[in-house]
Structures are given as structure tokens and as C-alpha cells.
Structure 1
Amino acid sequence: MARATSRRTVLSAAVAVAAGAGTLSAATPALPQPSGAGALDRGRDHQVDLRLWTSFLDWHRGTAAGVRTVPGRRPAVAIARPVGTVDHTDPHTGRTETWEYATWESPVHRCRVPATELIPSWNADTPPGTWLQVELRAAYSDSTESPWLVMGRWAAGDEDVRRASVDGQRDGRASVWTDTLAIDDPASGLWIEGYRLRLTLYRRPGTRATPTVRRLGAMASAVPDRFTVPAAPPRHARELAVPRYSQNTHRGRYPQYDNGGEAWCSPTSSQMVIEFWGRRPTAQQLAWVQPDLDDPQVCHAARFTFDHQYEGCGNWAFNAAYAATYREMNAVVTRLSSLTDLERLIRVGIPVITSQSFLAGELTGAGYGTAGHLMAVIGFTPDGEVIAHDPAAPDNEAVRRVYRRREFEDVWLRTKRYDAKGKVTSGTGGVCYLYWPDRINGAQRRVLTSLGVR
């Protein structure tokens, strides 16, 4: 199972209060209060606002300092002329190095929902000698805003800096839990009204190398508290030809990456879907893997999704960023509202990686319980049952599972559940990864667009 689960559990509890947030700056426009302001309307359906910056106009409208907008089929931002240098000490290597940097800052995005969580994601290339940092600044419904909060220090490789989240960031209203900014006490009626994102692009002084960021965004959500969800009637039957990989065939391998394969559900699921789209690591990229190991690309995915602060491979944003390092691939972290949305994606040929938690016995046929686990949904039977490639299987052949629709629906979409001790804890509320290539058909593009993905 994914080690990510312990942090998902604590998202349901209030955390310690740190220094109070400052007042909203004059440069940040006042954000309109959502209709029905006050306490969140817990009776509403699933609420998600996915905002992505991807177009030339998106990048042009941001505030750039030393950054240029790169035109073309995949518009991006890159370093033009650094605005300065900074000495950065990597806490995971102890090395202090000097880096040139440039920044890009998004306009304020006003959330379409009164959000209690924000999860960013990005797609970028970071050639050797470069890396990037993603920060977020939230505006709250009490007219305060957070400080800039680091949501990830990231590079596709791990030779220059260690890919890592940043612990201990809180402002008395919300806290960063690895890849998620969450309101500490949603019952208080406080919510996130809007946010800005900031990119800092780094390179070694005197070089012309640059990170290139093609997609940046965040998913704001306010999912109603619920132990169960309404049933969505079956609509479409289809099964996609997704490769099968078991995380458990890698038990004990490369224990420096979260104790080996037993915790690699997220990168294993990512690798299955990446290869469905015809992408995989080259022989040169896999040269570091012990040559007699089967499925070395799963080891590769674990290494290059590993979060050195969290000490696990389950960082949602890092998995999406890894998928997008492959040729002409795109990836986001979002939430879906129902199995109907998931069926629509399967119908047009897009598999979905879902995150869920459940007790043994809550998902018939799984044979285990978990506080958090990733699997790839690859189809639906004619009766509407869920076909998943579950990496927790003992071997590749056993990865394909058929799960009961109503059981899967609840364990994936609920936000509250009981753990083995009978204590109320959190569920992931429909979180998923979506990966797709640049060249897709019209039906696929229409479904993605309807879900806010572009």
C-alpha cells in the first residue's frame, strides 16, 4: 500500500496553530464571496474548481521576472535573463550551491467553489543543472491571506537537488500536508476564496540551460462530508488494454525508495498508464537498475517520483509531474464527482488512476485493507462493475480485478470513514490522476474539457 496514507488520515483532524496570517495585500483584489456565504453548504454535490495555466495568453498574463514566454504548439515559460542568484542548501544532501533564478507569478484566481483544499500540479522539463519550485498563496474568506507556501521543490532527475515537499508550513488557518493545502477546521466556516501560484526557475550560473514549464495549476475543492455517496447507474461498458504491473514483485528492491515495492502503488499505477499511451523509459534511462530484475521501469518510476522529505513515492503532484516528463505527455491531479465521470473517460479511451482507502472486507476481492492506495481503473463490465489494475496483487497476472460497483464508489468518493479501531478518519473524496498525450481525438478532448482539463 502507499505510505501516503498516514498524511491523508491527518487531513481530517485540526492541527496546531502557528503565527497568524497577514492581512490581504493591496495588490491582491478582494475576492467575491460565493453565493450562500457563511458555513459551507455540506449538502451540495461534489465541488471542484480546476484552474490550469497552459496557453500563450495564460503565461503572458502572469507577472514575469527574468522569464520569457515560449510560443509554439506547447506554450511554456523558461528563463530569459536571471534576476539574481541565491545560495540554496539542500536539506537532503547538505550541499550548498549557488543558483541563478527567475520567477513567474500567476494572476489571482478566484475559486468557483468555497474551497477547503488546494492541490497543485505541474508539467515541466528540467534538464541537468536545473530545477524549479512551486509556491502557493491562499486568500481566505476572513479577508486574510497566507504567506507564500512551498508546494514542491522538483526536478525530473535527482542529481542536482533532491525532489522534496516541505514540512511544517501552517499559518493558523491552513496547513500544508505534503502535496495538499488544507483548511485546519472546515467546520469553522472558513474557506479558501482564491490563490496565486508562483514558479521559481533555477539553473547553474553561467549556463544557458533552463526549466521549461508547460502546465501549472491547482485543484480547489470543497467536497461535502460523507461516509457514502449516491449510486450512479451504469452507462458504458468498455475495457482498455492497459499493461499489468504488480508492486509486490518488487518487494525488498531499492529499499531507499520507501522500503521497496510494497509501498510503490502510486508509481506502479503511473507506469501502467504511461505505457498504455505508448511511452516508457529508454534503455539508457534504465541502465542504473540491476539488469536481472523484471519490469525495471517500475523501479525507475519509484525512484523518480520519490519525495525525499515525505520519504515516499505517493506525492500526488510528483507522480503527475513524472508522467509529464515523457514525450508529449500531459498530467494533472484532480477530483471526479462520480463513477459517471469515470465511465465517460473510460468510454473515450482514457484510463484513470484513483486513490482510495478501505477496511479489509469493504472492497470484496481486494483481500486487504489500506489507509490509502492507488490503482488504475481500466474499464467497466456490462453490469457496471469496476475493472481495475490493482498493483497490490501478488504478481502481474493477478493485477486485473473486478470490484463491486457500489463498494468501489463509496471507498473512492467518500470523505469520511471508520478505521479498524472504529475511529472516524478521512477519505480522499474522488482524487485521481489523469494522464493523456498531446494528440488525442475529439471525443477525448471534449470529455477532458468538460472536467476542466486542458
Structure 2
Amino acid sequence: MTDNAPRRAVLTAALAVAASAATVSAASAAPAPAGASGAAPHRGGAGPAPDDAPVDYHGWTSYPDWLFGAHRGTLPVPGRRPGVRIARATGTFDYTDPHTGATATWESASWTSPVRRVPHPATELISSWNADTPAGTWIQVELLGTYTDGAATPAYVMGRWTAGDGPDDIRRTSVDGQSDGTSSIWTDTFSIDDASAGRLLASYRLRLTLFRKPGSRLTPTVWRLGAMASTIPDRYTVPASVPGAGAGHELPVPRYSQDIHKGQYPQYDNGGEAWCSPTSSTMAVEYWGRGPTAAQTAWVDPSYADPQVDHGARYTYDYQYEGCGNWPFNAAYAATYRDLQGVITRLRSLNDVERLIRAGIPVITSQSFLAGELDGAGYGTSGHLMCVVGFTPEGDVVANDPASASDDVVRHVYKRAQFETIWLRTKRINASGGISGGTGGVCYLYFPAEPSPGQRRALASVGVV
């Protein structure tokens, strides 16, 4: 199943415990952050309509985007896929890798984005990025925020990332223990500790630092850097949306089971039982005709089926979180494949998903639920990823659910209203009767570097440009 040994202090779990001393289960299969307090549930009552939830994704990805901001040794790169890279080193950094114990000196250059003012003061922010990191290079993404009272956040590290894990590479990692008493970083998510106190995130900049070995001519190249800032109201249920443009459409997304990988490579989050995120990512990447080559998966035991799933687990693994469910790391992994982009954002309803499906873009969703809350699943989970591939003519959800016994039975049809609630809610009653969190509509979107006009329109309709 998807609920094996907990690895991560899930944001909502931590906040609910602090507020109400409820016992909350965390998920190793996938993170489940959302703003939450310890308020008693409104049983049977619907929360605010999903479309009322403020969500703002903003990305820097075009050549004009990279021209602005503050460059310290970095250079905008024009072309078919514009980006930013090291032109000259402007500093050095002695880094002791906490996961290998090795200390090395790295030279660096940085780019800091212009200020992004959030349309609605935010309680959460999740950054994501797309980059090429040759062996011996890596990147760090930091959040430089400003609260609604004008005070600054610390320079929060949102991730230290490299595509590889060879002898010349650091180990990709989130950074625990970051807080200033008003906000905290929970693996991949910035969160206001107590939204009711009134101090929220008003604006932010993202600082991108590129690292390489001293004297090297190699450089990382970053093509996309962005963040999703949101204020999702506390809600235990949401009103069901009316089936729309996606009804009756289904995409031919490959189907892979995580369960057939149980026990494989336990150094990556205890094996396939916890691999819902990289398994879903593998399905979406292969839908776009991409994926690792036979040479790249040659390290996998040849007796194992679907070695690309094992490969995805290895190269999405967060050595601090000790799991493969770091959301931005999955998006970054997808974007290592030729001409693919990956974004982490929130959507507001299944109507958003329908527009993307109609444009040919599958949607990977994150949700948690009791076994009785999603008919046909046959399990409960405190955090799980699925790949939504379409809708029935009646508007029910067609999902490739990796928590399945074999590849042949990965396709599931889930009732629309049930699925919409378990995905969009921020609070739920867990199996112990306590309060746990929900993701509030978090999703992964993978799409071409050059989307079609219809895909551009669909992405723009959900705030991704």
C-alpha cells in the first residue's frame, strides 16, 4: 500500500498537532502540506467554492524574463529554450554534504528575480524549477519574502538540486529546521505558522545560485524558475463542479504499478510501495514520448519489470526527506528529459483539469483519504499521487492509480464528487478520529517546452505561462 513507515513531518500534521494535540498520520509516499488550524470540523458542511481560493503561479522562463532581475556572474542565454547560466564565478562556497560527509569548495554565480507581489496575501508558497545540471554542478533555490507588515523573511532554502548522484555530485536535498517564528519551511513548502495572526506573505523574490567546481567550464543552465503562492481556506469538503469540456475525453497515458516494485532498492524510501510520485511522473513523462534510455537504466536488476520506474525513484529521491515525494524534485526530474517542462501548482476544480485534458495534458494530483471515501480504490492513504488521464462521458475521473496490483489494472474510474473533495480539501478526519491535512489541489503539470496554441491557452487558463 501507500502508507508505509512515515518519513516526513507533514505540514498539516504538524500544525494540527500544535493546535489541537490531535494524533495525525504522515505519509511516506507523498507529502500532504496545506495550511491548517486545529478547529473542529464542520461535519457535512461544504467549504468555500474552489474557484474562490486565491492561487498565483508565476514563472520566469523567457529571454526577456532572464534579462531582468539581479545578475551576479550569470548570463541570460537566448535561443529556442532561453535560460540563465554561469558567465563568471563571483564567489566560492565550502559545502559539507550532510548525506555523504564530504566537504568541497564550489564556485558560484547567482540571479535574483524581480519582486513578485502576490495578488492576495499568501499562506503558502511552493517553488519549482527546470534545469540542466551536468555532473559536478548543482543549483540552490532560495525564497526571499516580505510579510504584509513589511518585515522580511529569512533567506529560505527551497531546495539544493542536481540531476545526478555520481561521485562529482552533491546529494539533492531539502533543508530542515528553517523558521523565524512566523513562517517555516516544510521540506518543499513555505508556510505561515499561524494565518490567524494576520501576518502573511505579501511579495517575494527567488534567488537562484549556480555552482560548479572551481576552474570548471561546465555550468548549470536553468530554463524555468517559478513559484505558486496561495491562500486556500480551511475546508473539509468542496462543492462538486459540473462536468465540462473534458467529459468523454481520455488520454493514452502509459500505465505503471508501483506495487510490483515492492522491496526493490529499499535505499530509496523502502522500495516501490512508497513510489507513487515517481511512478506517476514516469507515466506522464512517457506519455510525451520521453524517458530514460536502456543504457541509463542498465543499473536496474534485469529481472525487474518497468526499470524506468526504479530509475525515476532514484533520481527524484530527496536525501533529507528520505523519500521520492518531494514535489519540485519530481517536476525537475521530468524536465531533465528533452523538451519537457515541469511545474508545481494548485488547481481550483476539476474543470481546470478538464481544460488541460482536452488540450492533451495529463495532470498528476496529490490527495489523502480513508478507504471509504473513494469508492473503488480499496485502500486509504495519508498521501498519494495519481495521474488523471481523462473523464467519462458522465464526468467521472479516469485516473491511472499506481497503487494497483499490476500494470493491467492501473486504470480506475472514481466518482467525480468524491475525487474532487479528497484532492481539494485542506482538512480531513483521519482513521483515529483526529484532524489531518489535505493538499488543497496540488498537482504536477508536465508539458512540452514549446506547447501547441491549444496547450498554451489551457495552461494560461490555470495561470501557467
**TM-score grouping bracket, smaller chain normalisation:** over 0.9
Contact 1:8 1:428 in 2 (8 A): no
Aligned equivalent of 1:220, options 229, 233, 256: 229
Answering whether residue 168 of structure 2 is matched by residue 165 of structure 1, we say no
Q: Does the alignment pair 1:393 with 2:400? A: no
1:428 aligned residue (415, 432, 439): 439
SS in structure 2 opposite 1:148?
strand
Separation of aligned partners in 2, 1:56 and 1:337: 30
Question: Following the alignment from structure 1 to structure 2, what is the Cα–Cα distance between the partners of residues 312 and 67?
Answer: 32
Number of the residue aligned with 1:99: 106
Aligned to 1:25: none
Of 7-16 and 286-295, the range deviating more from structure 2: 7-16
Q: CA RMSD in A?
A: 1.6
Question: Structure 1-normalised TM-score?
Answer: 0.92
Equivalent residue, structure 1, for 2:300: 289
**Alignment match, 1:331:** 342
Deviations along 1:374-407, one digit per CA (max 9) or x if unpaired, are 0000010011110000000011111000001110
- Helix, strand or coil: the match of 1:13? helix
What percentage of aligned pairs have identical amino acids? 63
Equivalents in 1 of 2:348, 2:422: separation in Å? 13
Q: Is the 8 A contact 2:138 2:160 kept in 1?
A: yes
Return the alpha-carbon distance in structure 2 between the equivalents of residues 4 and 328 of structure 1: 33
For residues 418 and 155 of structure 1, the distance between their equivalents in structure 2, rounded to whole angstroms, comes to 38
Distance 2:143 2:257 in 1: 35
> What residue ranges of structure 2 are gaps of 5+ in the alignment?
20-46
* 1:164 alignment partner AA: T
In the superposition, the TM-score normalised over structure 2's length comes to 0.90
Distance 1:369 1:232 in 2: 24
Change (3 A) 1:168 1:233: same
Alignment of 1:19-418 (within 5 A): 45-159=52-166, 160-235=169-244, 236-418=247-429
The Cα shift of 1:330 comes to 0.3
Q: Given that residues 7 and 322 in structure 2 are in contact (C-alpha distance below 8 angstroms), is that contact kept between their aligned partners in structure 1?
A: no
Q: Aligned pair in 2 of structure 1 residues 5, 432: CA closer, same or farther (>3 Å)?
A: farther
Q: Secondary structure at the match of 2:181?
A: coil
State the distance in 2 between where 1:91 and 1:441 align.
Answer: 43
The 1:205/1:5 distance shift into structure 2, 3 A limit, reads: closer
Deviation, 1:6, is 4.9
Q: How far off its partner does 1:441 sit?
A: 2.1
Tell me the equivalent position of 1:19.
none
Q: Is the contact made by 1:418 and 1:424 (CA closer than 8 Å) also made in structure 2? A: yes
Q: Distance in 2 between matches of 1:95 and 1:239?
A: 48
SS of alignment partner, residue 373 of structure 2: coil
Q: Which deviates more, 390-399 or 286-295?
A: 286-295
Query: Please, which moves more after superposition, 366-375 or 440-449?
Result: 440-449
SS of 1:210 mapped into structure 2: coil
| 1:9–1:371 contact (8 Å) kept in structure 2 | no
Q: CA deviation at 1:437?
A: 1.1
Aligned-pair distance for 1:9? 3.4
> Partner amino acid for 1:174?
S
Q: Which runs of 4+ in 1 moved over 4 A?
A: 2-6, 41-44
Q: Distance in 1 between matches of 2:224 and 2:80?
A: 13
Amino acid at match of 1:231: A
- What is the rounded CA distance, in whole Å, between the counterparts of 1:78 and 1:105 in structure 2? 13
Deviations 1:347-376 (A, max 9, x none): 111100000000111000101111110000
1:10 maps to 2:13 = yes
Is the partner of 1:73 in helix, strand or coil? coil
User: Aligned partners of 1:149, 1:356: CA distance in 2, in Å?
Assistant: 26
Counterparts of 1:130 and 1:227, CA distance in 2: 44
Deviations 1:250-284 (A, max 9, x none): 00000000000000000000000000000010112
SS of aligned partner of 1:294:
coil
CA separation of 1:6/1:386 partners in 2, compared to 1, >3 Å: closer, same or farther?
farther
Question: Which one-letter code corresponds to 2:71 in the other structure?
Answer: A
The answer on whether the counterparts of 1:11 and 1:182 sit within 8 Å (CA) in structure 2 is: no
Check whether the contact 1:5–1:372 (CA below 8 A) recurs between aligned residues. Answer: no
Seen in structure 2, the aligned counterparts of structure 1 residues 386 and 42 have a Cα distance that, compared at 3 Å, is closer
What whole-Å deviation, never above 9, does each CA across 1:149-193 have from its counterpart, x for those lacking one?
101000000121000000000000010000000000112222110
Closer/same/farther in 2, CA of residues 212 and 444 from structure 1, 3 Å limit: same
